[in-house]
Structure 1
Amino acid sequence: MEILWFLIAMGLLAAVVVPYVRRRRGGIRLVAPGSPDAADPAAYGFARQEELDVRLPGPDQDLLDVLDLVQRTQDWRAASQLLAGTEKEGEVRWQRVQAFAGAASLELQERPPHQGGEGHEGRVDLRKGQHEGPYEEPRADAAAGRPAGGAWLRAWRSEAPEDAGCAAVYAEFLVQQAWRSSSSGTDEFRIILEEARTVCGEAALAAPGDPVPYIIELAVARGLGYSHEQFDQLWANVIDRAPAHMGAHLAALHYWCEKWHGSRQEAERFATAAAARAPQGSLLAALPLFALFEHLPEVNLVRGFYEGETVTKAVEGALYAVHAARPDDPMLAHVRHLLVLFLVRSERWAEAMNQIVRVDGHVGALPWTHDGDPAAEYAVYRALAVAGYEANGGSPATLPQ
């Protein structure tokens, strides 16, 4: 009997491991870089792994130029001007607010304001220039001769307290700090998110038609555990201002997922309803693929899962959305990145390559940001796609650009 149980266990283990080691079509496998048998992504003009930009899902040169200027000079005015000139209802403003907040949060992580005893990292109160308990003001990084990380955001907040763009960036900064530096459910986590909710209210008052403060609060709602009724009221404020906002729908989808305050069925229902009412050319038709991704099993024991009806239907919906969308839709890269994962796992190599060639260079999007090293995770899938493409007769010369 023990032998039988051992054989069953080994069979299950093989079912999990073998698909990652050897692909059925063409015997696809990963080999050491530099091996004569290794497919070379560089032959396709793809960026090297160390050159991949983890900050954004796709190019936004205006944002990158301003972000570089702000971080180099510690002068917030260029960021304020960029946000003031960015359409309130569009996707770009939300992405730029996230990028500025993320930059300040990462700076603070790299150059914290206090290097005290164990467990005493300190959090900067950029909103009021005050601090309570262990919180510290930003101080110069003595070793590098630079101010503590995020000093430009503190200056922006104190020198332009009525700036709606700054309020939005600071609210998002607090949200990212809560998820980055605290554990969900702890007192510190709740304190930071409560403060973020307050700043969201300030940002909404400063810019009444702007959906971004309410979109930021969707993450607060998830962390603080809003009831379904409270969340629906918040969601109404979002869709009243931007009914087809893809970024907002992605943020709301997290709340309805099984791991937070909903279920697989509720998340699927939310995504399917949004896709059904999506206007022509909207990427909301791809939302069911994101709902599927959020509920993928940790370990897949179903042979042919990625060739099955559920995955195929969601992938085809996302491909339809991509083909129908405007080429300059700022959310297009988000959908393409997720498609890469599903197309590779479905062994649809040529279609995966068609997506990779359009997003390569930037990896700041799902599914890669779920990993501690987004560039490395993306590079693995890209290498698999190249290997599978070449094993089935593809080459750089046959890949449409």
Structure 2
Amino acid sequence: MVWTMALLRALIRTARMARHTASLAAGLPADEEVLLDAPDDRLGPALVAAGRGEYEPAAKLLALTRERAEWENRDRYVMRLATFACSRPEWFEHWRQTEPDDPDMLLLRAEQAVARGWAAPARAEQLTAATPLVTAAAQGDPRDPVPWRVALDQARGTGAPPARFEALWGEAVRRSPHHYGCHVAALRFLATAGGRSHDQCFDFAERAAQDALPDSLVQALPVRAALGHLTASAGPGAPGPVPRARLDSAADLAAALSGRYAVADPWPAEVRNVLVCVLVRLERWPEALVQLGRTGPYATSFPWDRFSDDPLGQFLELRDGVRIEVAASTPLRGRRGRDASGGH
């Protein structure tokens, strides 16, 4: 009898999947329409020009973000341009030689050096060697918080003591109290610092979210803490468990933030990708499908590059898996409401 019931459940699940999976693709972009780390309308032309060896559009873009104090955009553009410069360095070398004291070039150079340090086998040594470049970037514009985000990333890789972190964090928030990139860098530092627990990371993330501006991406910081917990390695010395209610609350807060942005808005794309990953880990399949619909065609390397060398493929595979899970839990025939069935 037990075997018969198990077989029956398996057959029902298979029938539900066959009936509903295809229809649940409605509203989702086709696989070939999904883009990985798509640049916005301002960054795209700068990257195209850099591919031709021309640095001027990138220089103008970063100068504009500095002049207008667009610190969030500036941070994103610096990271993308530095990544591009690592694989296509000609345009950046031309800029460095032509304008060696340009504050935007100095910032990009520091970001590139720290990124390379993180990828190097001798990580701590390489990151320590980048200190003069990070210092030069911080001196470029006293208002700019982005060099301090770079400094926080550097400090995390060198195993800097808590006092050093506090000093860097103070410099960052003094310049921009709600800067998302600096908050993410601080959370990542806390997550890797010796003796820190997941509870401490959540405490930091939740306080930041409470103090954040209404539509600030900082409100999604707890869901990044949740991702860190849900994907942490188990074993001796691993931080203790986090209550399920705290994880759900982090996901709920990020979902509320996602709902305040338009569907397929590229600005919160990474937050939505992180939220989808957390919802899947929590097996909240219908909500994960909703967020996939809100994400639209904008896949981001993070968090999928934590699990695969092919982040786009990982995103698409997970998207299919979510549809299958939702289909498997959907009744074969929808129930009619009381009014439709003649009830009062």
TM-score w.r.t. structure 2 length?
0.79
1:84 pairs with one of 39, 63, 71: 63
* Contact preservation (8 Å) 2:205, 2:225: yes
- Write the distance in 1 (CA, Å) between the matches of 2:13 and 2:244: 21
SS in structure 2 at match of 1:206: coil
- What residue number does 2:166 align with? 232
- Write the distance in 2 (CA, Å) between the matches of 1:327 and 1:356: 10
Instruction: Give the direction of change, closer, same or farther, for the CA distance of 1:160–1:211 in structure 2 (3 Å limit).
Output: same
2:325 pairs with one of 378, 388, 393: 388
Distance apart, 1:267 and its partner CA? 1.4
- What residue number does 1:344 align with? 280
| AA partner of residue 63 (structure 1) | L
* Contact preservation (8 Å) 1:255, 1:261: no
Percent identity over paired residues: 30
* Contact preservation (8 Å) 2:263, 2:295: no
1:54 pairs with one of 22, 32, 36: 36
| AA partner of residue 112 (structure 2) | F
- What residue number does 1:355 align with? 291
SS in structure 1 at match of 2:178: coil
Unmatched tracts of structure 2, length 5 or more: 1-8, 235-240, 332-344
2:275 is equivalent to residue 333 of structure 1: no
Distance apart, 1:261 and its partner CA? 6.8
Distance apart, 1:298 and its partner CA? 5.3
| AA partner of residue 177 (structure 1) | R
| AA partner of residue 205 (structure 1) | Q
Distance apart, 1:338 and its partner CA? 1.1
| AA partner of residue 46 (structure 1) | P
Instruction: Give the direction of change, closer, same or farther, for the CA distance of 1:328–1:44 in structure 2 (3 Å limit).
Output: closer
Structure having the larger proportion of residues in helix: 2
- Write the distance in 2 (CA, Å) between the matches of 1:60 and 1:236: 31
- Write the distance in 2 (CA, Å) between the matches of 1:155 and 1:210: 24
1:69 pairs with one of 42, 46, 49: 49
- What residue number does 1:205 align with? 139
User: How do 1:129-140 and structure 2 match up within 5 A?
Assistant: none
- Write the distance in 2 (CA, Å) between the matches of 1:232 and 1:306: 25
1:151 pairs with one of 62, 67, 90: 90
TM-score w.r.t. structure 1 length?
0.69
Instruction: Give the direction of change, closer, same or farther, for the CA distance of 1:325–1:36 in structure 2 (3 Å limit).
Output: closer
Instruction: Give the direction of change, closer, same or farther, for the CA distance of 1:325–1:243 in structure 2 (3 Å limit).
Output: farther
- Write the distance in 2 (CA, Å) between the matches of 1:261 and 1:94: 29
Cα RMSD for the two superposed structures: 3.3
Unmatched tracts of structure 1, length 5 or more: 1-22, 108-148, 395-401
Instruction: Give the direction of change, closer, same or farther, for the CA distance of 1:215–1:98 in structure 2 (3 Å limit).
Output: same
2:245 is equivalent to residue 266 of structure 1: no
2:84 is equivalent to residue 94 of structure 1: no
Deviates more, 1:356-365 or 1:159-168: 356-365
User: How do 1:272-311 and structure 2 match up within 5 A?
Assistant: 272-296=206-230, 308-311=244-247
| AA partner of residue 310 (structure 1) | R
| AA partner of residue 83 (structure 1) | L
